[in-house]
Amino acid sequence: MQLTRTLAASLLFAGSALCAEAPSTHKALIAPKVFIVSMFEPEAQAWWNIPEFNLLAHNITIPGLSPIFPDVHCTEDYEVCQLITGESEINAAATVTTVAFSPLFDFTQTYWFVAGIAGVNPKKVTTGSATFARYAVQVALQYEIDIRELNSSYTTGYIPQGADYPGQYPTNIYGTEVFEVNSELRTIAADFARKANLSDSTTAQAYRPRYKTPSGKYKAATLPPSIVECDVATSDVYYSGNILGSAFENTTKVLTNGTGDYCASAQEDNATLEVLLRAAVHKLTDFSRIIVMRTASDFDRPYPGASATYNLLYSEQGGFEPALKNLYVAGIKVVEGIIDGWNATFAEGVKPTNYIGDIFGTLGGTPDFGPGRKQALIDGGAYKKRSIPNRLQRRG
């Protein structure tokens, strides 16, 4: 495999101008220690013009990347690289597939560092914080009926696929509903990030007290930014409000069998993880080397008394700037921690003690969520044999 890829890479370099700039080491594949996954330009720029390294030393154009982000960026020595997916699940899947399966790279020892901003659950975190996930849950992969066409038995319009009511476990499984990453690595990464002095804004400081309530249910939202280990939801739909916030909190619980702790919402992570999993099946990537960090740019639901539209469209929460800044401020500690500890720890890898992978158990082991490999494969593949009507035939 290694030989084939080296050969393919040489052929690529020799045969065409695919690279804006071909790496000087033609014989060796590019083997980054850390690969930063950014989703859009402001997240990417947070890592440019920093004193530690120059990610723009090499721009490598790869066919298949986003039309607006056509290059992978790498430092002079290729130890740290960065891609920019473009936003939402389709862009993330297409871009990460292009890179993960590219013959230019050797990713067998690479740490994938998803570093993006996110909306956050005020019960768990405040703006400016950096969250580190163990689970990523594709919360909107469900049926949906507008709540106005449902009766009072329904508290949300989202119904798990193959189920009748919210809160039930889905019986139609696509395989991307939940990913679980290395929780030992997550803790190490979060501890690195805790060395950072997080950035904040005066606007955010002025906004947070609005989440004070007598019960203290949003206490986390009123505190200064911090590092929090909690889970991320993925949805193409950029949602806001109490009902969807609560609905997806519940979906996370159901899909992770009660273990997941929903705190951040983004539009890409499960797509990225699905690709890294498919690449891991072919030993191109190591699924135990993934860190998912999301910094908090805004709240997913309003403070008590305010509306969902105000929260989404009109509020000045002051979290966007510090969230972008903290991608670098917290993230650089993670990158440096990995590189400085390479020989001692990270070259060999951090052994996970938890299950890692998807709901099918694709990488081996026994998922600690989902109905078990056997049933998941039945629910995922054998639906045609079942005689349950319409809703099961309409999967796409």
Ligand X SMILES: *[C@H]1O[C@H](CO)[C@@H](O)[C@H](O)[C@H]1NC(C)=O
Residues that bind ligand X (CB under 6 A): 56-57, 59, 133, 135-138, 141, 151-153, 155-156, 166, 169, 176-179, 181, 197, 231-232, 234, 243, 246-247, 250, 257, 269-270, 273, 292, 343, 368-372
Which is nearer to ligand X, 107 or 179 (by Cβ)? 179
Which is nearer to ligand X, 8 or 94 (by Cβ)? 94
- Shortest Cβ 57–ligand X spacing (Å): 6
- Shortest Cβ 199–ligand X spacing (Å): 6
- Shortest Cβ 178–ligand X spacing (Å): 3
CA gap 357, 359 in Å, rounded: 7
Give the ranges where 31-182 is alpha helix by DSSP (H). 41-45, 89-100
Q: Which residues contact 167 (CB under 8 A, 6 or more apart)?
A: 250, 254
- Shortest Cβ 8–ligand X spacing (Å): 24
Which is nearer to ligand X, 11 or 395 (by Cβ)? 395
For residue 114, how far is the Cα from the chain centroid? 6
- Shortest Cβ 4–ligand X spacing (Å): 26
Which is nearer to ligand X, 8 or 386 (by Cβ)? 386
Helices 320-340 + 183-193 axis angle, to 10:
110
Residues β-bridged to residue 295:
117, 130
CB atoms within 10 A of CB 18: 14
Which is nearer to ligand X, 316 or 368 (by Cβ)? 368
Which is nearer to ligand X, 169 or 383 (by Cβ)? 169
Dihedral of CA atoms 229, 230, 234, 235 in degrees, nearest 10, equals -130
Which is nearer to ligand X, 220 or 271 (by Cβ)? 271
Residue nearest ligand X, CB atom distance = 136
CA gap 311, 301 in Å, rounded: 6
- Shortest Cβ 360–ligand X spacing (Å): 12
